[in-house]
Amino acid sequence: MLLASESIGTFCSKTAGLLQYVGYALTIFKIAIPLIIIIFGMMDFGKAVVSEKDEDVKKQAVKLLRRAIAGVIIFFIPTLVIWIFETVNDYSSEAGQFNTCKECLLHPGSCPAGE
């Protein structure tokens, strides 16, 4: 019978490939989301400025602020997940059991997948 800490370490090593793909997706999101926010913000503000209505500019400013907040939240989700992993790891009996999970999520290019 495996201890809880051993099963978590085993889980991380067995799912390293999947976690690596999630890590790549998170990396792409970290790049794409700010670019999308900037592009849509420029387009929306461009339309508002051309319409020359102060009300439209204010609406677009609020819309851009909401998008930016959503982008920041999405950007920091991996940080929150890693913080949770490290917090759980601090309370476990064996240090480093989440290192594979952490490495695959934060640095998917150097993930020890397939070991």
Q: Which residues, including other chains, have CB under 8 Å from residue 28's CB and lie 6 or more apart?
A: none
Once rounded to an integer, what is the mean pLDDT over residues 72-85? Answer: 79
| Mean pLDDT, residues 62-78 | 84
The pLDDT, as a whole number, for residue 9 is 65
Coil, helix or strand at residue 1: coil
23-37, 66-80, 85-99: the lowest-pLDDT one: 85-99
Domain ranges of the chain: 10-108
Instruction: Note the pLDDT tens digit of each residue in 10-69.
Output: 777 788 889 889 889 988 888 888 888 889 888 888 888 888 788 888 888 888 889 888
The pLDDT of residue 1: 42
- Closest of 34, 37, 10 to residue 101, by C-alpha: 10
Alpha-carbon span 62 to 86, nearest angstrom? 36
